[in-house]
Chain A
Amino acid sequence: MARAATRSPAKGPGITAWLWAGGLVTMWGIVSPSSLLIISLGMLPALVAYFCDRTEQKYALFCVGGLNFSGVFPFLLKLSDDHSFSAAMNIMSNVFSLAIIFAAAGFGWMMFISIPPVVASFLTVLAEARVKTLKSIQKKIVDEWGNGVSTTDQGAAAVVPHMADDEDAD
């Protein structure tokens, strides 16, 4: 299933959606070109994560994008004091700003890489515990009912006449 999910190409947005998106971005560029600049440059790691994650769920996008946005958001707030395009350019040309933005995105990548194995190990431990419980139940069943219970043989019981039958016959 997972393989199928990864293999099947994600159906891209339609032309209408692209037109809407283009319209909105144009509007956004007209209304607030500074924030558009910060977002478009700052959220590049998220865009990379979107393209790298071929799964349908796009967990990498959520993970990297989320923390990437956390890194971008303080600089968006700075634009509330000076909403000019040059202020946005100053922010985005500042190494320190870029370091914060990409470090946050990197932290997102790190989470995306490091958490799954931990969770997988945890789930494996849980599964093993369940298997142990089930096998213990099976052993109890075999102890009570014999090995025959664990085979396909139905273990036909002896068919013998009953005196009750004879009594009825009388």
Chain B
Amino acid sequence: MAEQPLEADEVAGVVPPEMAEMFEPADAPAENAPQRSGAGGPVILKDRYMLDTATPLTEFDSPSAKAYMVEDRRDLGRKLFALICSPEIPTRLSTIRKQKEDESPGRLDLVDWDVIYWPPLGQRTMAVIYGRPLGGRVQNRLARKETKITEYDVPRKLAEPLASVLQNMAAKEAPHRAIRADNIFFLDEDMTEIAVGENVTSPPGFDQPTIYEPIERAMADPTGRGVGTTHDDIFALGVTIGILVLGHNPVAKIKDDDLILARLDQGSYTVIFGNSRIPLPLLEPLRGMLNDDPAARWDYNEISNWLTGQRTTAAKKKPIKKAELPFSFRGKEYVSPRALARHFSEKIPDAVKAASDDTFEVWLKRSLGAAEMASAVNSLIQNAKFHKDGYQGKDEFVVCNLCMILDPSGPIRYKSVAFMPDGFAPMIASEMLHNNQSQMVGEILSHDITSTWFNLQSPPFPGTSELRANFSTLKGFLSIKEIGYGLERALYEINPSLPCHSPLIAHDYVLLIEHVLPSLDAAAGHADTNQRPIDRHIAAFIAARFDQDIHPHLKALGSDARDTSIIGLLSLYAFLQWKLREQQVLGLASWVGGLLGPAINSYHNRITRGDIEKEIPRLVRKGSLPELFDLVDNAERRKDDRDGYAEARAEWLAAEEEVRDIEGAGDERITKAERAGQQAAAVLAIVITLTVVTLLLILQTW
């Protein structure tokens, strides 16, 4: 788990190599003047802001986004910088929108944002423009001893403004989830006003080192730490205050894994600040803010009481559950079930063996005094034995549930991932798109693993009912295999900030539904136009982002019949262009037009087919998909074709019947012909007779 702000070498495992250069250490000396690197040129955002690709501002880099100089062409004196987001990491789009609309004091001013082509990356990505904090990072200024924050300054200079802005943000937007010592800035050069840094370029908690995260979220993968609550911001605030006051991170040298084990064993405050000289006035506030029990952790009321000098409740320390005797697992001894759960999840086959052994049940009952836990583990093992051929009998499923029983408030640990339920969205984005673990994500949903976790929470996890409903919806999508549904649909439904990851348009960072057709139009220039301009990602993205009912279009698109499928594709894109009032899409029209063969051939009348084929180039030149659709699948023309076909068929069958009547008669026809000949001979004979008789009578008379 990468717990520190991503270093260049750590980034290699998360993002493609070509983007690793973006993730250089964020903190550079504050006095670093903009340096021209000479890469690329200026990029214009919304015809106003000029982003200089050659002038990185490393002192404003975020762990997941590099900073570059920005010039406001309408206000040249304005100091701005842009954060260039990693295309591979989901951003917090709704927070970006809210922050842009609402100018809230105490946080960096989000001026504007857009998706732009960024030459150093060679693709489009999101750029977020901020007002430049003139005083730089608080941590850097303190480190250089250019200013000092004493324990007496903390409430007024640090805690009050930060708590105020965090409370305000939580009420208006969402918890900040990126509060850390290096993300606090001085807004002015005199270093009197501080502000929290950005929190939008990565998922909540993603950039946080583990010490800033409450223990249960710290144990989750960075992508799965979750949206969190104000309790999580308060924990991070407590750690931030402690580190800024001390001037250093007292546990910087301890490995993340050891730190988490120690925190599980002794409590977060004791491990992080227990051996540091925390000033006396800050002892109680930090203990309160770093309480590992979210229910007992200080809230903003307690902080307010502390800041205003009112009486505060002493931090109630919930005793950590420990066994009298240790349980030995793979040579190590554990007294905490939470620590044991963490290691069980790392050694799955061994964990199943250990849990199946009677000694484990005895240890839980007698040494830990957790008879209910022992009973739950026993039921789990029995259930696994009963369903040994089903997924309930699989080691991964058993260990996942075992960990939930041992550490109910900890993250869900399934196979290689650990995530909080409210962090499921960025987790599946990461696992599906970068680690190719779609099957595992599908199993999490189909096995109702999150449901089990919710059932074990006491008190209930915040937002449980909403999360349960979300997971139920996602499971519904998963059960439909057609294009436009499935895991891809779940991915885009639950990640509203995720750009479309179809290989056709991934380089265009298609974040909004309005960008789909223009991107496909551009892709027509370089894509293999023998392939369809759609795949499961694009269909799911449109279904998730488009506010119209496109179910009939998807149904047609998913048809096995090629003609129906291609008409479904055209109808979907035509509907998009029509509803979104999109401009002409010449490339896409040409691309789709070239694939319409099966659709044209679905007309029976070859003259109609010829007419349509002749008309297509004209409409392709207009770039109008609705007109193209109307040409190919005009209802009236279809009806005429159907009716004409029925008539033609009846006519053909009538002719066929007559031909068969003539040809198929055989002997009967010959007999009929002979009979007709005999009749003719008889008639001729009568005529001759009458003529002869008449002539003879005439001659006789004369």
Contacts and interface: CB of A to CB of B under 8 A. Distances in A.
Nearest to A120: B673
Contacts of A64: 685
A163 B574 contact: yes
Q: Which of B556, B568, B574, B678 has the most CB of A within 10 A?
A: B678
Nearest to A121: B673
Contact of B682 (A59, A130, A144): A59
B685 A62 contact: yes
B682 A66 contact: yes
Nearest to B567: A160
Given A59-B678, A134-B655, A163-B629, A127 B669 contact: yes
SS class, residues of chain B in contact with chain A: helix
B642 A157 contact: yes
A130 B657 CA distance: 13
A98 to B, nearest CB: 18
B645 A160 contact: no
Contacts of B648: 141, 144-145, 149
A17 interface: no
A163 B578 contact: yes
Interface stretch (B7-15, B57-65, B290-298, B689-697): B689-697
Interface string A90-111: 0000000000000000001001
B220 interface: no
A126 to B, nearest CB: 10
Contacts of A19: none
A109 to B, nearest CB: 10
Contacts of A142: 652
Contacts of B602: 157-158
B651 A141 contact: yes
B701 to A, nearest CB: 10
A134 B658 contact: yes
B685 A135 contact: no
A38 interface: no
B676 interface: yes
B685 A138 contact: no
Given A117-B677, A138-B656, A145-B645, A80 B700 contact: yes
A161 B681 contact: no
B671 interface: yes
B607 A158 contact: no
A111 B633 contact: no
Interface in B83-113: none
A63 interface: yes
Contact-residue size bin, chain B (C-beta under 8 Å from the other chain):
35 or more
Interface in B497-554: 548-549, 552-553
Contacts of A1: 668
Contact of A116 (B568, B633, B644, B673): B673
A148 interface: yes
A134 B638 contact: no
Q: Which of B548, B553, B655, B686 has the most CB of A within 10 A?
A: B655
Interface in A140-166: 141-146, 148-150, 155, 157-166
A142 B652 CA distance: 8
B689 A69 contact: yes
A111 B684 contact: yes
Interface stretch (A8-16, A22-30, A70-78): A70-78
B635 interface: yes
A48 interface: no
B375 to A, nearest CB: 55
Contact of A135 (B599, B659, B689): B659
Given A123-B676, A134-B658, A160-B633, A144 B689 contact: no
B634 to A, nearest CB: 9
B663 to A, nearest CB: 6
SS class, residues of chain A in contact with chain B: helix
Contacts of A115: 677-678, 680-681, 684
Contacts of A137: 651, 655
Given A157-B602, A158-B633, A60 B688 contact: no
Nearest to A150: B652
Contacts of B574: 163
B575 A163 contact: yes
A73 B692 contact: yes
A83 B673 CA distance: 46
B33 interface: no
Interface string B625-638: 01001100101001
Interface in B612-656: 626, 629-630, 633, 635, 638, 641-642, 644-645, 648-649, 651-652, 655-656
Nearest to B691: A70
Contact of A66 (B563, B633, B675, B686): B686
Contacts of B658: 130, 134
Given A2-B668, A144-B607, A163-B575, A119 B676 contact: yes
Interface string B568-584: 10010011001000000
Contacts of A134: 655-656, 658-659, 662
B171 interface: no
B670 interface: yes
Contacts of B447: none
A43 interface: no
Contacts of A144: 605-607, 648
B452 interface: no
A88 interface: no
Contacts of B696: 73-74, 77
A71 B537 CA distance: 101
Contacts of A67: 685, 688-689
Contacts of A157: 602-604, 638, 641-642
A141 B673 CA distance: 31
A124 interface: yes
B693 A124 contact: no
A62 B630 CA distance: 72
Contacts of B692: 70, 73
Interface string A46-88: 0000000001010110111111011001100100100000000
B563 A131 contact: no
A111 B604 contact: no
B561 interface: yes
A131 B553 CA distance: 48
19 contacts: A60-B678, A80-B700, A119-B673, A119-B677, A120-B676, A123-B672, A123-B676, A127-B669, A141-B651, A141-B652, A144-B607, A146-B606, A157-B641, A158-B563, A158-B564, A158-B633, A160-B567, A161-B556, A163-B630
Interface of B: 548-549, 552-553, 556, 561, 563-564, 567-568, 571, 574-575, 578, 599, 602-607, 626, 629-630, 633, 635, 638, 641-642, 644-645, 648-649, 651-652, 655-656, 658-659, 662-663, 668-686, 688-689, 692-693, 696-697, 700
Instruction: Kindly list the 3 A-B residue pairs having the minimum CB-CB distance in the complex, ordered from nearest.
Output: A116-B677, A120-B673, A119-B677
